[in-house]
Amino acid sequence: MEKKRILSGVQSTGNLTLGNFLGAINNWVNMQEEYDCYYMIADLHSLTVRNDPETLRENAKKIIALYVAAGLDPEKNNIFVQSHVSAHSELSWILNCYTYMGELSRMTQFKDKSAKHADNINSGLFTYPVLMAADIILYQADLVPVGEDQRQHLELTRDIADRFNKIYGDTFTIPEAYIPKTTARIMGLQNPEAKMSKSATNLNDVIFLNDTPDTIIKKFKKAVTDSDNLVKFDPENKPGVSNLMQIYGAVANKSNEEIEKEFASRGYGDFKMTVAEAVVEKLKPIQAKYNELLSNEDYIRKIYTKGDENARKIANVTLKDVKEKVGLII
């Protein structure tokens, strides 16, 4: 039986976070036997904000190292660099011509990012969802792991693919959202109302996968809770405590009921320290492997070179079909 294909990616800006690991990469590791997996370093998407060029390049390599260190087997997964597959940019332009201004203007992420980067509201921010659509349907992806913040973009991708198919006949697979049975939605330590983000301005809000044990412990000690001193899962009324429970449950494989029982007569200080130590232990082998991989640049290059080649094979077939259908000379 042919495996269903999954595509996802991470921008090459900033370091990966505990949220990236528990909410996405951990699930990807569990999927690598069952699915045909393509994971890209979304460096073209990273250009919507101004980056230091050398940092951007190094971040891409770091993400590949972290992917593998976290358990993604490069022999079972195709890990590639978006900008190394020119079909992404070519298909994105073609799809721009089948996407309406009104659709793009309704994208909430454009509004959010425009507010955050008021001095750089570029057209790339506006057309970002079209490139994302090209990323997905270029590989005829059946499934796309998405969080709530990307669901709107996936719906637009489905609309664009369906519109093209209705004009030119069956061309693109209409992708579905992949929702894991169990997934942790990790929020910020200082702002538990918002998702933990690698672009956070307050560094105490986020745990990076390459943070030192001391840094991790310090950040958890400062994590926002409340005045109840009661470890109870209640996201609406106790968002900070509930977030810490989510993290602890994910790294220690414990249910909310087990955690509540464990800390029934213990205070927040003890609870925070236990969560911090559990995270440190979970990340210790990943960090050791990451540092080993990062010192072997030839191996990192070998991983993405192989992934690039596999990605091009599929992408170029789709792009050729699209070009023929819209009337371009091949």
Q: Which residues are bridge partners to 7 per DSSP?
A: 38
Cα separation, 147 vs 27, whole angstroms: 13
- In the sheet that holds 5-10, the strands lie side by side as 77-81, 36-41, 5-10, 143-145, 176-178
Nearest to 171, CA basis, from 160, 180, 182:
160
Nearest to 45, CA basis, from 1, 98, 78, 8:
8
Burial of 136 (0-12, 13-18, 19+ CB in 10 A): buried
- 248, 254 contact by CB (below 8 A): yes
Q: Which residues contact 219 (CB under 8 A, 6 or more apart)?
A: 189, 203, 204, 206, 207, 211, 276
**Catalytic residue ranges:** 113, 195, 198
Alpha-carbon separation of residue 6 from 84, 103, 318 (angstroms): 19, 25, 16
